[in-house]
Amino acid sequence: MGVPERLAEGMSMAEQHEYLCARFSRRTMIRGGAVTLGAVAGGAFVPGATAQAAVKTPAVAPATETVDGALVAPFGRHLAYGNDPRTEITVSWQVPVAVRKPFIRVGGHPWDLSRKIDAEVRTLYTPAGVGASADHTQYYVHARLTNLRPGKTYYYGVGHTGFDPAEPHLLGTLGTFTTAPAHKAPFTFTAFGDQGVSYHGLANDALILAQNPAFHLHAGDIAYGDPAGQGKTSDTGFDSRVWDQFLYQTESVAKQVPWMPAYGNHDMEAWYSPNGYGGEEARWTVPDNGPDSKNLPGVYSFVYGNTAVISLDANDISFEIPANLGISGGTQTKWLEAQLKKYRASKDVDFVVVFFHHCAYCTSTSHASEGGVRQEWVPLFEKYTVDLVINGHNHVYERTDVIKGGEVTRQLPIGGTAYPETDGVVYVTAGAAGRSLYAFSADQSYEGHVKDDDAVASFVCLADGAQQKETVAWSRVRYLDYSFLRVDVTPAAAGRTATLKVRGIAETGEQVDHFTVARRVR
């Protein structure tokens, strides 16, 4: 995050934030000639932003002047559900410079965009000296849409004074989104983690769009504006402009498929707020139904059809990278249990899918398994028979057998079926979305190239940076190339069996894994 070498190793996010605020204070920046006007209160946002830092940041943003809006085209459109995917969605985008009166137009047809709604601007300022960003201001725009009709496709266009998407010559800029249906119906969603900006990230986006998913889950380490992600003195390459590139890259799919992120270690950026998430709060609008939106804005849940989805922030419990360890004071784990209990009691919910960054079970030679996740959350996953856990962090594709109590309760070969109600939980690491790949200690084993190995050497990350070696039997599928996850959800009538058909798909389009999770409907 651009932290100088004299900053002590192992500082928390809050400590890094305080140091940067002091070092890049208003007085320092004026003396250095970087900034002269436009004080910012309450964090590195201009007044009016809703994502405020917990303490005041002595940042100073330069004065801004708007230009002719006809010369400025929005970019980086991305969608996200609100608390209820049937009736709420947020459309977000960027503009490269300040514009006047941004807005969104929405309608049921491309020729009927009479509904015009004002949008909110969140301006994110990064001064020269904080990483490599070199005095950069970013303008993120958000429009929350509510009271929508379930199961309906809407057309929308985003604009500002001088750029009206309803004008005939700008109709090509329109996008669409579809709300969740009111009743249970088959649907598909996709997932991966650790994407960044690259040819492989772009290729995976194109493949995801071809799956026609209802939504996409991003399991953290989104853009890699912070390339180190360790919260250490070597973490000097932060560049906020990478986010501009990422959102431009992702727009082809995210402008029509809700893009639901969880936050990883590379998504903590100390300059913007004490928790490291001030930048994320400027860029994303996600459901606000989590336990602690102040400290953990990436923790939330939503229900689509018969499936409940829970996003968690494993930075809160990570032993390996402890920059935000314990930030929720245990409230996240308590909230998780309450959510799991609620969804398991609901007759409308068949499946529960949980996604977050750090892996509970993985044998990659880089990060392997996170002891904090095993300690805090795995017992809850087993108690409430979670149907599928999706992680990133390790840049590989790996899938476990069915696990309970750290042991294999049912081997799950490629093409097999898991029964979480009786057997346990299946964990998938889908962290090969585009960033450089890691390695395995054992041979790869995937569809068409099966090489079973029930004694794979690995380790689990413990507190204080320790690693405990382990030899595991649960590593069933290992694939070392760019890939993502596709999940087809099929509901069923009471007394019959609903299914999740899960597939690992390579960047080539080749299927490298498939299995089924089955649950009898009450």
Tens of pLDDT, residues 438-479? 999 999 999 999 998 889 999 999 998 899 999 999 999 999
**What is the per-residue pLDDT for 230?**
62
Within-domain flag for 412: yes
CA-wise closest residue to 17 among 31, 5, 3, 38: 3
How many residues can be counted in the chain? 522
Phi, psi of 206 (to 5 degrees): -65, -40
Q: How far apart are CA 225 and CA 237, in angstroms?
A: 8
Highest mean pLDDT among 35-39, 112-116, 350-354: 350-354
Radius of gyration of the chain (CA): 23
CATH number of the domain encompassing residue 373: 3.60.21.10
Q: Which of 62-71, 133-142, 207-216 has the lowest mean pLDDT?
A: 62-71
Best CA proximity match to 312, nearest among 248, 231, 386, 401: 386
458: closest CA among 447, 473, 477, 479? 473
Name the residue among 38, 17, 13, 15 with its Cα closest to residue 26. Answer: 38
**In Å, how far from its chain's centre is CA 10?**
24
**Percent of the chain, pLDDT > 90?**
80
| Per-residue model confidence as pLDDT tens digits over 229-283 | 664 444 568 899 999 999 999 999 999 999 999 999 999 998 899 999 999 999 9
Q: What pLDDT was estimated at residue 37?
A: 22
**Whole-number percent of the chain with pLDDT over 70:** 88
Residue 350 CA to residue 522 CA, distance in Å, equals: 8
Evaluate whether residue 46 is within a structural domain: no
Q: Is residue 372 part of a domain?
A: yes
Give the integer Cα–Cα distance in Å for 164 and 160.
6
Query: How far is the C-alpha of 354 from the C-alpha of 323, rounded, in Å?
Result: 23
The answer as to whether 135 is a domain residue is no
pTM: 0.91
* In-domain check, residue 397: yes
Domain extent for 361 = 188-220+298-520
259 belongs to a structural domain = no
Give the closest residue to 507 by CA, choosing from 414, 447, 435, 433. 433
Please provide the distance, in angstroms rounded to a whole number, between the alpha carbons at the two ends of the chain.
50
Residue 51 has pLDDT above 70, yes or no: no
Residue with structure tokens 């249906």? 181
Give per-residue pLDDT as tens, 290-349: 999 889 999 999 999 999 999 999 999 999 999 999 999 999 999 999 999 999 999 999
Q: Does residue 13 sit within a domain?
A: no
Q: Picking from 10-14, 368-372, 470-474, which range would have the lowest pLDDT averaged per residue?
A: 10-14
Tell me how many domains the chain contains: 1
Decide if 146 is inside a domain: no
Tell me if 293 sits within 8 A of 280, measured CB to CB.
Answer: no
